[in-house]
Amino acid sequence: MITTELLEKHGALKKMFAKNETIFGEGNLPSHYYQIVSGEVKMCNYNDDGREFIQGIFYKDQSFGEPPLFLNQNYPANAIAVEGSEVLILPKNNFMKLLEENPAVSIKIIEHLAQRLYYKSVMAVEISTQEPEHRILKLIDHGIVYFNFKKDENGHLINFTRQQIGDLTGLRVETVIRAIKSLEKKGVLKIIDRKVYR
Amino acid sequence: MITTELLEKHGALKKMFAKNETIFGEGNLPSHYYQIVSGEVKMCNYNDDGREFIQGIFYKDQSFGEPPLFLNQNYPANAIAVEGSEVLILPKNNFMKLLEENPAVSIKIIEHLAQRLYYKSVMAVEISTQEPEHRILKLIDHGIVYFNFKKDENGHLINFTRQQIGDLTGLRVETVIRAIKSLEKKGVLKIIDRKVYR
DNA sequence: ATTGTTTTATGATTTAAATCATAAAGTGGA
DNA sequence: TCCACTTTATGATTTAAATCATAAAACAAT
């Protein structure tokens, strides 16, 4: 999103996070801008009885956690490394200075927020009014466009576990498994070697 | 958000929409920036069997429908006047010119998008993992801060119908009515003359 | 004033997804 | 290679919210 050079010019540092390590926690006040160099980061919540909800999954070159940074509000969710991940971290003041000096970056930020909002709008209506199969298919089709699902001779490989699909759609893992089976029977996706293709 | 003078200087026109009139429809390509002068506008979806989901409700001075405008994507929801509403409308090209000439407006836009994203994140986890009473209370408490609920001697008047609360939380109106009754019994809110206070 | 529509309200019944239980297959680390 | 853990899988049971039915109160329009 923002080039490594520009970030480092303003004082960004690279930091390594191990698998399952927390980058920042729900309820904390933001102090830095975060951008992924390599790896995979999820933003998620846990409800009262430990149930997880994944707000989003972020990959190489994507930033995360900006909204509360701009609003001076506490983080509404946790950021956790899904796998070992390298992240560029820039203090808020430096980030704001970078923005002032580079108006084109503002537009990039607006576009990224708009993209996130678009996903949230689409999934909100799915989660609250549609049935499991519909929700899962919407998530998958969105993922094909916006996540980095690779295409081979079987179609796009949906690089999510059943549990992750559940945590992204508000469904239980058993429900996801059964819905995916049913979708396969209907011929709208393929299951090869337990992996889902669309 | 953006002053009327600045918008009109760039060619914005005021347009009146009647109650229940559609301002733009799901699936259409955005061509204008919209900002409310007076009245109330909802963004909403209808699923296959006509069930409504309200993405958000917007009031005086707020803009709506910017994300797809920036992304050149189709609107993911409808915009409908909840009551007779006056709206300032500015063609996209003029809006982009306005943005270029007024960098401070970019920051305003970022803040507005960040605020919307914050609400979406909070409600997404509620809708997908929390029980009805919890969801409704979260919506109400968010509304007290960000919607224009007036405070009097009974507390904040929650200016939503039970049906609207249901459409915002993904619950059926009967469930909302029962949950609100239960919350009143628990003493966390008041029902006076059928109106909800918190 | 009368009529039609919306909003709030309650009880009975249904149902879809969650929960519970159990297990096989796959994966990663010591 | 063995052990622990994760992921996928399936059947049985439970349950919370949706659905269905009905109605009173409130409000809006003529």
Tell me how far apart the alpha carbons of residues A145 and A131 are, in angstroms, rounded to a whole number: 22
Mean pLDDT, to the nearest integer, of A84-92? Answer: 96
State mean pLDDT over A78-98.
Answer: 95
pLDDT at position B147: 81
Q: How far is the CA of A34 from the C1' of C15 (A)?
A: 45
**Which numeric CATH code is attached to B130-197?**
1.10.10.10
Mean of pLDDT values over A116-141: 95
Q: Across the interface, do A114 and B113 touch by the CB < 8 Å criterion? A: yes
CA distance B192 to B181: 12
Strand D: residues with CB below 7 A: A 161-163, 173-174, 177-178, 180-181, 191, 194; B 51, 131-132, 170-172, 174-175, 193-194
**Spans of all domains in chain B:** 4-102, 130-197
pLDDT digits (tens, 9 = 90+) for B72-118: 999 999 999 999 999 999 999 999 999 989 988 989 999 999 999 99
Q: Is the CB of A169 under 7 A from strand C?
A: no
Chains A, B: CB contacts within 8 A come to: 118
Contacts of B13 (CB under 8 A, 6+ apart): B88, B89, B90
Contacts of B76 in chain A (CB under 8 A): 118, 121-122, 125
pLDDT at A49: 82
Residue A52: which of A60, A43, A39, A61 has the closest Cα?
A: A43
> Which positions of chain B have pLDDT values less than 50?
none
The pLDDT score that the predictor gives to residue B1 is 87
- Pairing verdict, β B78-81 and A22-24: unpaired
Q: Would the CB atoms of B115 and A170 count as touching at under 8 Å?
A: no
* pTM attached to this predicted model: 0.94
End-to-end CA distance of chain A: 28
What mean pLDDT, rounded, does chain A reach? 94
Determine whether the interchain pair B125/A51 forms a contact, defined as Cβ–Cβ distance below 8 Å: no
Q: Do B67 and A121 touch (CB under 8 A)?
A: yes
pLDDT at residue B146 in the model: 85
Residue A172 pLDDT grade (very low, low, confident, very high; cuts 50, 70, 90) = very high
- Does B53 contact A121 at a Cβ distance shorter than 8 Å? no
What mean pLDDT comes out for the span A38-59?
92
Picking from A51, A126, A136, the residue whose alpha carbon sits closest to that of residue B131 is A51
Structure tokens at B45: 């979806």
The residue-averaged pLDDT of A176-198 equals: 95
Residue A136 scores a pLDDT above 80:
yes
Contact A71, B121 (CB under 8 A): no
Q: List CB contacts (< 8 A) between B66 and chain A.
A: 114
pLDDT of residue A108: 92
Confidence check: pLDDT of A147 > 90: no
- Among A45-59, A97-111, B30-44, top mean pLDDT goes to B30-44
| R_g of chain A, CA atoms, integer Å | 18
Using only C-alpha atoms, chain B has a radius of gyration, in whole angstroms, of 18
How many DSSP H helices and E strands does chain B contain? 7, 12
Taken in order B120, B122, B126, B129, the sign of the CA dihedral is positive
D chain positions with any atom within 7 Å of a protein CB: 6-12, 16-21, 26
CATH topology of domain A4-102: Jelly Rolls (2.60.120)
A130: nt with nearest C1' to CA:
C16
What pLDDT score does B191 carry? 95
Q: Do B71 and A115 touch (CB under 8 A)?
A: yes
A148: pLDDT strictly greater than 80: no
Domains B4-102 and B130-197 share a fold: no
From chain A, which residues contact B within 8 Å (Cβ)?
45, 47-48, 51, 53, 55, 66-68, 70-71, 73, 76-77, 103, 106-107, 109-111, 113-118, 120-125, 127-130, 169-170
Stretch A139-143: mean pLDDT, rounded? 94
Q: How far is the CA of B126 from the C1' of D5 (A)?
A: 30
- Measured between beta carbons, which residues in chain B are less than 8 angstroms from residue A119? none
Shortest CB distance from B76 goes to which of A51, A76, A118? A118
pLDDT given at position B148: 75
Contact, B9 CB vs strand C, < 7 Å: no
The whole-angstrom distance between B38's CA and the closest CA on chain A is: 25
- pLDDT in the model for residue A137: 97
Do B122 and A73 make contact, defined as CB atoms within 8 angstroms? Answer: no
Q: What CA–CA distance (Å, rounded) separates A48 from B185?
A: 22
